[in-house]
């Protein structure tokens, strides 16, 4: 559905990503993990077409506007728009900028997206009245309303409490069951155990590369995580699922 080959991204003279090969398959929920500033957001933006790669290529098997939906990190939404209006913007790829999303399919897509993200009760409130977590769910609803085959989400679980993180993760799993490919930047490794596949980025002198790519139980190994994050981890396999926790060890000084 979407893939990249030999992807390289530079910011000026600094190479952020080097030689990234990645493919997302239909029905796959993928967590993109790695330390802060390793290039996770950069990779998602390059796949979404928001950022032009310095080298390599991104391949999309259909017109990008209808195929790929992207939710950026802390993406600003128009404060005076209602939630319903913002979610309706997800229908633009089907009608164009001057088109109107008033057809039966549009209404159904918007209603489904609102329900899936738990924002139906907010539909006619203005964006400026919402909390950061509520706005994050509205941004996800807009992406779902697009009915794209690929979801690219930069920290879609950020700013959410435990309940809404669970609910959004459940929404992403249901979307993948419908055949959607979803790639989500995840910082909490405990959440990364609930996806189908983990892609772990590791920073290097010449730019970040993929250190591991596979099932969570295979990627989330204590030795590998310590090598990438620089802190010791405890990893326990329970019922086929990895339980991951960084060791909280401090040296006491007197």
Q: What is the pLDDT along the chain (254 residues), one digit of tens a residue?
A: 899 999 999 999 999 999 999 999 999 999 999 999 999 999 999 999 999 999 999 999 777 767 999 999 878 899 999 999 999 999 988 876 555 556 889 999 999 999 999 999 999 999 999 998 899 999 999 999 999 999 999 988 887 888 888 998 999 999 999 999 999 999 999 899 999 999 999 998 899 999 999 999 999 999 999 999 999 999 998 877 888 988 887 655 44
Q: Give 65's contacts (C-beta < 8 A, 6+ positions apart).
A: 93
Residue 254 located in a structural domain: no
The candidate with the shortest Cα–Cα distance to 154, out of 199, 197, 184, is 184
Total domains in the fold of the chain: 2
Whether 240 maps to a domain, the answer reads: no
pTM of the model: 0.91
200 phi and psi angles, rounded to 5 deg: -105, 120
How far is the C-alpha of 126 from the C-alpha of 216, rounded, in Å? 39
Identify whether residues 55 and 172 lie together within a single domain. yes
**Domain boundaries, position 89:** 76-147
Three-state DSSP at 98 gives coil
Neighbours of 22 (CB within 10 A): 18
CATH of residue 189: 3.40.50.300
């Amino acid at each position: 559905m979407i893939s990249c080959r030999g992807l390289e991204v530079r910011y000026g003279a600094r190479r952020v990503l080097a030689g990234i090969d990645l493919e997302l398959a239909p029905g796959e929920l993928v967590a993109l993990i790695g330390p802060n500033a390793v290039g996770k957001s950069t990779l998602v933006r390059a796949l979404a077409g928001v950022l032009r790669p310095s080298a390599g290529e991104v391949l999309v098997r259909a017109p990008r506007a209808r195929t790929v939906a992207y939710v950026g990190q802390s993406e600003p939404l128009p404060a005076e728009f209602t939630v319903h209006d913002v979610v309706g913007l997800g229908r633009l790829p089907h009608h164009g900028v001057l088109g109107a999303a008033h057809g039966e399919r549009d209404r159904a897509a918007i209603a489904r997206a609102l329900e899936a993200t738990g924002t139906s009760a907010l539909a006619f409130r203005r964006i400026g009245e919402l909390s950061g977590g509520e706005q994050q769910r509205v941004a996800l609803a807009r992406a779902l309303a697009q009915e794209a085959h690929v979801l690219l989400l930069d920290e879609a679980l950020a700013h959410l409490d435990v309940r809404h993180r669970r609910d959004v993760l459940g929404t992403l799993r249901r979307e993948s069951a419908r055949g959607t490919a979803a790639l989500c930047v995840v910082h909490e490794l405990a959440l990364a155990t609930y996806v189908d596949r983990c892609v772990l980025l590791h920073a290097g002198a010449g730019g970040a590369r993929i250190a591991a790519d596979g099932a969570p139980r295979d990627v989330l190994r204590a030795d590998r995580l310590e090598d990438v994050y620089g802190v010791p981890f405890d990893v326990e396999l329970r019922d086929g699922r990895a339980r991951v926790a960084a060791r909280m060890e401090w040296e006491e000084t007197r």
